[in-house]
Amino acid sequence: RKLGVALVGLGGYSKTRLAPALQQTQHCRLSGIVTGTPAKATEWMQQYNIPRTNVYDYKTFDRIADNKDIDVVYVVLPNSMHAEYVIRAAQAGKHVICEKPMAITEKECQQMIDACKKANVQLAIGYRLHYEPFTREVMRFGQEKVFGPVKFIESSDAFRIGDPTQWRMKKELAGGGPLMDVGIYAVQGTRYVTGEEPMSVTAQFGPKTEPEKFKDVEETLFWQFQFPSGAVSNSTTSYTAGVERLYASCEKGWFELSPAFGYGPLKGRTSKGPIDLPHTNHQALHMDGVCKDLLDGKKLPDHITGEEGKRDVRLLQAIYRAAETGNKVKLA
């Protein structure tokens, strides 16, 4: 059996990545859509053979509770809307996948976790890289100390943003700027390479070279974590120019992914030579990984759950606090 997945929000990521990936998955299929735009509903129904009974808008969304064809609701909306739709999906009795960042505050993350627990459904975050072979390999290199203990990490993710009117440029909808959008990948990179939680963070805002465009969110942000083992990391995120790199210097060598966080193909090398692994469809692997566990009635692995999403959101908030105050922020 394949689980039926309903996508909530038919924007860029749903259209260009998730829906095509759901044509390749073994354990799930696209069975429903939730959209506020009737023209999109018609287009998607035709393209993906979705019956009218499996099409909802934001008002009728809660009726999804009565639809046996939909097992999983995948929330792919602007960041500030994740909490509401995850909670409503849980109350409808559906398992939920929620895009990153999980929410814009740690408090919302907790409410989402609590709602899923109460409804006895599972919650996964859209951390596609946790199923991706190059990423899994650098997790192993770092956590198993294959090149000796990790000493320094450089982990950065940034790109030049286009349309300045999009929700990503509005704090109310995005929760912040590039840190919320792609900086979260750089945060994750440092955590999965060390397998540790940072003890403290310092951070600095970069200059606003286009103040009108960046009146609501940061343009560039730098931060540094210290980890219990003594490892330190330095990271950049920005909407002004691109960088995508995860580099770890270890006692007996180094390893690197660049590009490290995009849809692929990812590329990696180490002090011993290139990393040779298959290139995959990240979204198909991720949804299949989550849905296989749901089908088998297994508890989802920690690294993909709401608790993991909450840890990152807590760190994003701490990074902003450190940049705003200029102080080192200690993390429990």
Q: Which of 74, 94, 100, 239 is catalytic?
A: 100
Q: Reply yes or no on whether 267 is catalytic.
A: no
Active site residue 185: yes
Quick check: 95 binds ligand NAD (CB under 6 A)? no
Scanning 10-18, 110-118, 228-236, 264-272 for contacts with ligand NAD by CB under 6 A, the matching segment is: 10-18
| 13-42: contacts with ligand NAD (CB under 6 A) | 13-14, 36
Alpha-carbon span 276 to 61, nearest angstrom: 44
Q: Does 79 bind ligand NAD (CB under 6 A)?
A: yes
For ligand NAD (CB under 6 A), the number of binding residues is 18
173 binds ligand NAD (CB under 6 A): yes
Helix (H) or strand (E) holding 250: strand 243-250
If binding is defined by CB under 6 A, does position 187 make contact with ligand NAD?
no
- CB count within 10 Å of CB 144 equals 9
Site for ligand NAD in 249-268 (CB under 6 A): none
Contact criterion met (CB below 8 Å) for 44 and 74? no
Amino acid making up residue 264: G
Phi-psi region of 208 (alpha: psi -120 to 50; beta: other; left: phi over 0): beta
Nearer to ligand NAD, 79 or 237 (CB): 79
How far is CA 8 from each of CA 159, 253, 258, 332, rounded to the nearest angstrom? 26, 44, 31, 35
When asked if residue 77 is in the footprint of ligand NAD (CB under 6 A), the reply is yes
Stated as kind and residue range, the H or E segment containing 28 is: strand 28-34
Q: Which residues bind ligand NAD (CB under 6 A)?
A: 9-14, 36, 76-79, 99-100, 126, 128, 167, 173, 181
Task: List active site positions.
Answer: 100, 185
